[in-house]
């Protein structure tokens, strides 16, 4: 009966599988091989985003006492991925581990429509700067330092559960929709103890409501997809891990 209320999800990750996948990410960044960057390619094309079915987001947001949605970077079968799970206010895990189920090679296009929930949206100019910076670096030119901060290897980001709810306000009908997590590079000038600060890029994530990848890339013409996809707002209200739990 319950599966008729909340549709069945893609296969979940076991705790052991999750640990293996997150450890593979850390090892890939800290002990890179000559072809480590290929985890950011799909069929030879640069990866631009991963996505999760709406059923995953509903399950996470329905988790009792959920305060944060943790996004952790993973490598599974040589492919970059992201795993999500819910935690309480103290970052204690409350839910199962949910893997991404779709990988994108399409860039963000179009202008974002204004929304009645706009107070928490990320300005499109910033989103464009971050995603364009990512798109302008072919995977072979990526550097492992882009996936680290002064605290060490970047393991993921922590979002407040409310941040995942924000994109849902953008559509009255969420039937068949996904939450897409676009990849980006944040360019900034970090603090230094002496001399001039050099421009630095750090890997980041942006949330948006989206059509499912198979529908967007195959069933709908590119121009129409850009028009529909651009109507959803973007959110980047996360904090990196580490520091954090």
What's the CA gap between 53 and 213, in Å, rounded? Answer: 10
What's the CA gap between 124 and 13, in Å, rounded? Answer: 33
Asked whether 181 and 82 are in contact (CB, 8 A), the reply is yes
Q: What does residue 214 show for φ and ψ, rounded to 5 degrees? A: -60, -35
Asked whether 181 and 205 are in contact (CB, 8 A), the reply is yes
pLDDT tens digits for 45-99?
999 999 998 889 889 999 999 999 999 999 999 999 999 999 999 999 999 999 9
What's the CA gap between 225 and 4, in Å, rounded? Answer: 30
For residue 191, what pLDDT is reported?
Answer: 85
Asked whether 149 and 186 are in contact (CB, 8 A), the reply is no
Task: Read off the pLDDT band of 197 (50, 70, 90).
Answer: confident
* Neighbouring C-alpha atoms within 13 Å toward the C-beta of 216: 25
What's the CA gap between 132 and 155, in Å, rounded? Answer: 22
Q: How far is CA 183 from the centre of its chain?
A: 6
Asked whether 108 and 216 are in contact (CB, 8 A), the reply is no
For residue 238, what pLDDT is reported?
Answer: 54
pLDDT tens digits for 5-25?
444 567 899 999 999 999 999
Please give the average per-residue pLDDT across 161-189, as a whole number. Answer: 77
Q: How many CB atoms lie within 10 A of CB 67?
A: 17
- pTM here is 0.83
For residue 122, what pLDDT is reported?
Answer: 61
What's the CA gap between 80 and 71, in Å, rounded? Answer: 13
Q: 71's torsion region: left (phi>0), alpha (psi -120 to 50) or beta? A: beta
């Amino acid at each position: 009966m319950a599966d008729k209320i909340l549709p069945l999800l893609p296969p979940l990750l076991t705790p052991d599988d999750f640990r293996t996948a997150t450890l593979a990410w850390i090892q890939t960044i800290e002990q890179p091989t000559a072809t480590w960057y290929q985890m950011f390619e799909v069929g030879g094309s640069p990866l631009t985003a991963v996505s999760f079915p709406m059923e995953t987001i509903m399950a996470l947001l329905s988790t009792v006492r959920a305060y944060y949605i943790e996004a952790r970077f993973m490598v599974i079968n040589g492919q970059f991925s992201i795993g999500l799970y819910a935690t309480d206010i103290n970052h204690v895990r409350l839910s199962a581990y949910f893997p991404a189920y779709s990988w994108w090679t399409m860039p963000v296009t179009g202008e974002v429509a204004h929304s009645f929930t706009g107070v928490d949206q990320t300005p499109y100019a910033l989103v464009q700067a971050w995603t364009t910076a990512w798109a302008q670096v072919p995977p072979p030119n990526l550097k492992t330092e882009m996936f680290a901060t002064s605290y060490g290897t970047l393991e993921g980001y922590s979002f407040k559960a409310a941040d995942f709810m924000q994109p849902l306000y953008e559509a009255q009908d969420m039937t068949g929709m996904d939450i897409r997590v676009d990849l980006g590079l944040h360019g900034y000038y970090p603090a230094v103890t002496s001399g001039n600060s050099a421009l630095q890029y750090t890997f980041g994530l942006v949330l948006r409501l989206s059509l499912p990848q198979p529908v967007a890339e195959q069933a709908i013409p590119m121009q129409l997809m850009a028009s529909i996809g651009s109507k959803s707002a973007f959110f980047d209200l996360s904090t990196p891990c580490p520091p954090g739990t």
